[in-house]
Amino acid sequence: MNILLDTHTLIWWSLETHKLSISARSLLDDIDNNLFVSVVSI
């Protein structure tokens, strides 16, 4: 699955994973998923 991360999700996943739901964390941690970040977020 392709997943486009918004700025909040990127920050929370990087620094504060406890703010993400269990389902969100499992999607982000699944190595079969492709994660993308917009240049605007960086």
pTM of this structure:
0.75
Whole-angstrom distance between the N-terminal and C-terminal Cα of the chain?
22
- Spatial distance between the Cα atoms of 22 and 42, rounded to a whole number of angstroms: 25
What pLDDT tens digit does each residue of the chain (42 aa) get? 999 999 999 999 999 999 999 999 999 999 999 999 988 876
The predicted pLDDT at position 5 comes to 93
Tell me the C-alpha to C-alpha distance, in Å, between residue 26 and each of 21, 31, 39, 42.
9, 10, 24, 23
The predicted pLDDT at position 20 comes to 93
The predicted pLDDT at position 38 comes to 86
Task: Assess contact for 20 and 29: CB atoms under 8 A.
Answer: no
The predicted pLDDT at position 39 comes to 85
3-state secondary structure at position 25: helix
The predicted pLDDT at position 16 comes to 92
